[in-house]
Structure 1
């Protein structure tokens, strides 16, 4: 007579398997949860860095070809000035940067109307933009360059802040342009 083996799992095998599985999952779970907060913080930091780099590069690329500063809407203070609007003249147009509600906008105005509307969104999460004239102490109309410092904040509470800065000199400062 032939015996057929009945395949099955005994209760003891099942309990041992569940015990081993729970030990493995507890080790993996504790490792995951302890590093999740750090991973989230690094992710926010990288996101801020990417946004800040985009904002500073956009401003630098636009300002470097300019002739000089035409208009600044600022909160006066020390040599470092917090701005809400910056307009720089170029050969055919005026580059305009505006900071509204933590969002940096870029636009172009005509040479005769420097009040161009900045409506192209460049970056959000900006807390403040500080500029200093180069050489330090020079007026905006006579400066040969700007030192720009952008402060980024990850959320409304500002728990995570990053500061980006750069200096830019006007390439075409000596070339005078006649405004119609």
Structure 2
């Protein structure tokens, strides 16, 4: 009997090739999905860092020129001007030489900025703000008598929480 040379693949060769291809696809997809998830997490953290930096820059640049605080409303809508401990703010008004500076955390997790001695802030400056805490400095002084404040910004997005803080002293305090 004569052997015939068939130019084709056997079923066994096809199964082995399919197994190798499947293994290669699984390894590449795992690597790809891991990198996508890592990128998304880092993107969220960077966005929170950016938003927190915007708030701290606005506070630092404007509060530094202030004379002091003339109104501070906490999250319970209480005027906390005579408190000497850290509070979460809803609205704060700083007195400047000419006017006032208003910062307000609204219910949609956004921070707004405005000018005036009363009223509401209207210019949105940041998003993803869970809370802003202020503490009078030096310790033991009330917000009314404080020489400066420690500002802590707490941000949250998609179950990621970040917190940033800075200290600002009033340059024009009498």
> What TM-score comes out, normalization by structure 2 length?
0.80
Q: Which residue among 134, 152, 155 is the counterpart of 1:131? A: 134
Instruction: After TM superposition, give the deviation of residue 116 of structure 1 in Å.
Output: 3.6
2:106 is equivalent to residue 103 of structure 1: no
Note the aligned Cα RMSD (angstroms).
2.4
The 8 Å contact of residues 134 and 152 in structure 2, kept in 1 or not, is answered as yes
The change in CA–CA distance for 1:17 and 1:131 in structure 2 (over 3 A counts) is same
Look up the SS of the partner of 2:141 in the other structure: coil
Look up the SS of the partner of 1:162 in the other structure: strand
The change in CA–CA distance for 1:44 and 1:130 in structure 2 (over 3 A counts) is same
2:168 is equivalent to residue 162 of structure 1: no
Instruction: After TM superposition, give the deviation of residue 20 of structure 1 in Å.
Output: 6.6
For 1:29, the equivalent position in structure 2 comes to 29
For 2:44, the equivalent position in structure 1 comes to 44
> What TM-score comes out, normalization by structure 1 length?
0.77
User: 5+ unaligned residues in a row in structure 1: which ranges?
Assistant: 1-9, 175-180
Q: Which residue among 88, 94, 114 is the counterpart of 1:88? A: 94
Instruction: After TM superposition, give the deviation of residue 93 of structure 1 in Å.
Output: 1.5
Look up the SS of the partner of 2:146 in the other structure: coil
Look up the SS of the partner of 1:118 in the other structure: coil
The 8 Å contact of residues 145 and 169 in structure 1, kept in 2 or not, is answered as yes
Q: How does 1:109-128 map to 2 (within 5 A)?
A: 109=116, 114-128=117-131
For 1:66, the equivalent position in structure 2 comes to 66
User: 5+ unaligned residues in a row in structure 2: which ranges?
Assistant: 1-6
Look up the SS of the partner of 2:28 in the other structure: helix
The 8 Å contact of residues 66 and 172 in structure 1, kept in 2 or not, is answered as yes
For 2:155, the equivalent position in structure 1 comes to 152
The 8 Å contact of residues 84 and 140 in structure 2, kept in 1 or not, is answered as no
Instruction: Show CA shifts across 1:146-175 (max 9, x none).
Output: 0011100114xxx2110110000001112x
